Structure 1
Amino acid sequence: MSRDKNFTALLLTLALHAGVWLLASGYPFQHVSPPQVPKTAEKNVFLELIPPPRQPQPEPTSAPPTTPITASPPDTGLAAPIPSPSPSPDHPRASMAAPPPPSAEEWAFAAQYTNKNSKGYRYSWGQQVRSMMGTAVEGPDQGVVRFRIEIAPDGRLTQLQTLWTTSAKAEQLARQAIQNMPPLPPIPTGKPLIFDKTISFSPFANDGPPIYRDDCLPEPPVFRNPFAWDGTSPQVVAAPTPTTPMDPQALADCLRQLPKDSIEAESARDQRLMDQWGASKTEKSTP
């Protein structure tokens, strides 16, 4: 215990001697601030924007024509018709001349071809009508008309019905051509010929010759929904109708009538397939 007191007294003695020595040596205890950097004088710069000299403007020679203000038509709730663009010298209207009428050889073939509901006769009849309608010009008169036709066994027209049309002018020209058709050969089957025919009066479409090589193949079965139900009768899943093979004698007669397909028929078939799948609408790049 006495040893701890002696050690504390020794520390106090040393601290007092150190303080006396610092006071005697003149050690500064006050706070000394760092020297300040002299400030530079600020200069104010004023900028004046001078506009460029005004250029003399030429005097107008004449006053521009004014468009008279007309009252807008009353709103009837119907969309206004879009006017067709007028042809310009740089873009003249497209046109397609009428195809030639069927030749005597084509009518002779049509008068003896009985396959597919007298397929050759129906094509020659449509070609005869289109050849008498004249040149098709791009514009509001172009269009398509579809008829239902009935021709007597001796070749006389007995019924003509318009199913639909996209151009009144095309229907008018087609009906006028049908009324002025020359006498036609008899129907090859000896029975009335009833069929639907589309006549295209357009500079961008042409009814090419048909393909005959597949006319002797059996008709594909007509699809009917096997799950169709009227809601009251018992539900019965209808079985698909099997394809009936053609009689050997009928098949031989059919094959005997088949002509050799022409290059024009092949080209027309390829064009129809391209139009069906949209390949002909692809724009070709020009160099």
Structure 2
Amino acid sequence: MSLVLHASLLPSWWGKPKPPAPDEPLQVRMMVEPEAKPPPPKPRMAKPSKPRRVTPSKHARPQTTPEPLPPPNPETVPMSMPAPSAPTAEEWQLASTYTPRNGKRYRYAWGQQVRSMMGTAFEGPDQGMVRFRIEIAPDGKLSKVEQLWSTSEAVSRLARKAIENLPPLPPTPSGKPLIFEQTISFLPYETGWPPSYKLDCLPEPLPFNNPFAWNGSSPPDVAKREHRPPPPEGCPPDSTEDTIEEEERSFKRQMEQWRWGR
């Protein structure tokens, strides 16, 4: 009887559904602390490997170490050039008898005489050039000196002092007053080049006259070619013969003047 009673009561509570679970309360976090990460592991230092020996190839070029540059010298010596020697008595004798080209030899000898009395030229503010207009009397005495231009006051002063102390000069070649212009170089790299007397025996060229100019009223002249006579015998004169040495000196002067090949 007890078993039947318990069996009748069992389905009444076994078939009933379970009640739902209560909802969890709402939680709000205002700040979340970051999670601490563990520090990264330290890298291990690699052991130094032994240097490898490189055998040079047969075709490899040997490496040359550049030579060290010399230290700069703060005390540089300025460039200088001593004065040229004065014309000799033989050169003055030849110059006093050289009539072509308005006493060309006499004029050059006069400039060299003045430059030889000016002393050594040093690099710096005292170097320069000066040009004079000179008039020499037939007996060789200086009649007039006029300075045309100068690039240095020191050079002008030295040149004037040398002109005032010139020794007695020979008479002029033509027996007339000799008037010319002369530039005196007081530079540490050149003292003035000697002129060439190669074709001085040829007659003086005629002044330029434009053959194609016409004023519109006079009859036009037909342009004619200038006739130049052949050089006379014995031209060029002695001591200026057309030699290879003279050609070399002339070519060297042109290279130094126009700075060819630099």
Query: Would you call these one fold, judging by a TM-score over 0.5?
Result: yes
Aligned to 2:130: 145
Aligned with residue 126 of structure 1, among 93, 111, 114:
111
1:135-174 equivalences under 5 Å are 135-174=120-159
Name the CA distance, whole Å, in 1 between partners of 2:168 and 2:153: 26
Report the AA paired with residue 125 of structure 2. P
Q: Select between 131-140 and 264-273 the one with higher mean Cα deviation.
A: 264-273
Q: Larger % of helix: which?
A: 1
- Equivalent residues of 2:201, 2:237 under 8 A apart: no
Q: Which of the pair has more CA radius of gyration? A: 2
Which deviations, in whole Å up to 9, do the C-alpha atoms of 1:27-66 show, x marking residues without a partner?
xxxxxxxxxxxxxxxx998999xxxxxxxxxxxxxxxxxx
- Equivalent residues of 1:96, 1:136 under 8 A apart: yes
- Equivalent residues of 1:220, 1:243 under 8 A apart: no
Question: What displacement does 1:115 show?
Answer: 1.1
- Equivalent residues of 1:208, 1:265 under 8 A apart: no
Name the CA distance, whole Å, in 2 between partners of 1:175 and 1:238: 51
Calculate the TM-score normalised by the size of structure 2: 0.62
- Identity among equivalent positions (%) equals 50
Over 3 Å counting, the alpha-carbon distance change for 1:164 and 1:170 in structure 2 is same
Which deviations, in whole Å up to 9, do the C-alpha atoms of 1:174-232 show, x marking residues without a partner?
11101100000001111111111110000012223222122123445544556778xxx
Across the aligned residues of Structure 1 and Structure 2, the Cα RMSD in angstroms comes to 3.6
Name the CA distance, whole Å, in 2 between partners of 1:45 and 1:279: 80
1:172-183 equivalences under 5 Å are 172-183=157-168
Report the AA paired with residue 269 of structure 1. S
Name the CA distance, whole Å, in 2 between partners of 1:217 and 1:104: 27
Name the CA distance, whole Å, in 1 between partners of 2:146 and 2:249: 27
Aligned with residue 255 of structure 1, among 220, 235, 245:
235
- Equivalent residues of 1:218, 1:243 under 8 A apart: no
Aligned to 1:274: 255
Over 3 Å counting, the alpha-carbon distance change for 1:133 and 1:245 in structure 2 is same
Calculate the TM-score normalised by the size of structure 1: 0.57
Report the AA paired with residue 106 of structure 1. E
- Equivalent residues of 1:209, 1:264 under 8 A apart: no
- Equivalent residues of 2:199, 2:235 under 8 A apart: no
Report the AA paired with residue 129 of structure 1. V
- Equivalent residues of 2:81, 2:122 under 8 A apart: yes
Aligned to 1:199: 184
Report the AA paired with residue 189 of structure 1. S
Name the CA distance, whole Å, in 1 between partners of 2:248 and 2:169: 28
Question: What displacement does 1:97 show?
Answer: 0.2
Name the CA distance, whole Å, in 2 between partners of 1:239 and 1:182: 55
Report the AA paired with residue 253 of structure 2. R
Over 3 Å counting, the alpha-carbon distance change for 1:93 and 1:216 in structure 2 is same
Name the CA distance, whole Å, in 1 between partners of 2:150 and 2:245: 28
Over 3 Å counting, the alpha-carbon distance change for 1:245 and 1:224 in structure 2 is closer
Unaligned runs of 5+ in 1: 1-42, 49-86, 283-287
Over 3 Å counting, the alpha-carbon distance change for 1:187 and 1:167 in structure 2 is same
